[in-house]
Amino acid sequence: MKHARGFTLVEILVVVVIIGLLAVGAVLAIGTSKRDDALETEAQRLEALIDYVREHAELTTREFGLRCEGDRYAFLAFDPRRGLWHEAEEDDALRPRTLPPGLRIRLRIEGREVLLRPPKDKEPLQPQLMLFSNGDVTPFELTLGREGSPLQAVLASDEAGTVTLSLPGAEAKR
């Protein structure tokens, strides 16, 4: 009998599996080096919440604010009868939120860096960023970034009250 030359089916399958694994590894390595999904998700969530609160403030003719504390943020509502700010509890969308591990907030109001710290004992809550009932917003630049990474997302408003979101590797939107 004459032996046929060539590869067996098992040998071909092993080569195909190895090439597939190398391709998946390359795609994952390239995809994760230029994007941070958690950073983008949190930035988009915060942008949507700010837009929502601005509309809510206009509809209810109430003053709202945003308080940031490094790795968390909360929306505050002003109680004109008591003259105090309190966490906005009437809507679950406005609940206080903690950022995923490793993400941090930096805030600049009207060009000045804001020290983000939790309130001291018995200190009344004060927002750093105002969302007025007429739709205006304090000019701000809020940066979300990951510790040890150059990637950052920037939410900013101008004097006209337009809020824009700049994501890493993307153009500003809005």
Question: Where are the domains positioned within the chain?
Answer: 37-166
What's the pLDDT at 114?
A: 87
How many other CB atoms are there within 10 angstroms of residue 94's CB atom? Answer: 20
Q: How confident is the model at residue 173 (pLDDT cuts 50, 70, 90)?
A: very low
Which residues sit opposite 146 in a β-bridge?
103
Determine the distance from the C-alpha atom of residue 117 to the mean position of all C-alpha atoms in its chain, rounded to a whole number.
Answer: 19
Residues 169, 152: contact at Cβ < 8 Å? no
What's the pLDDT at 170?
A: 56
Determine the distance from the C-alpha atom of residue 156 to the mean position of all C-alpha atoms in its chain, rounded to a whole number.
Answer: 12
Backbone φ/ψ region at 10: left (φ over 0), alpha (ψ -120 to 50), beta: alpha
CATH value of 37-166 in 3.55.40.10, 2.60.40.1120, 2.40.37.10, 3.40.50.2000 = 3.55.40.10
| Across 38-42, 93-97, 126-130, 155-159, least confident range | 155-159
Taking the CA atoms of the chain, what radius of gyration do you get in angstroms? Answer: 24
Residues 42, 103: contact at Cβ < 8 Å? yes
Q: How confident is the model at residue 172 (pLDDT cuts 50, 70, 90)?
A: very low
| Burial degree of 76 (CB within 10 A; 0-12, 13-18, 19+) | buried
Q: Which of 29, 27, 31, 36 is nearest to 151 (CA)?
A: 36
Token pair in block for residue 2: 């004459």
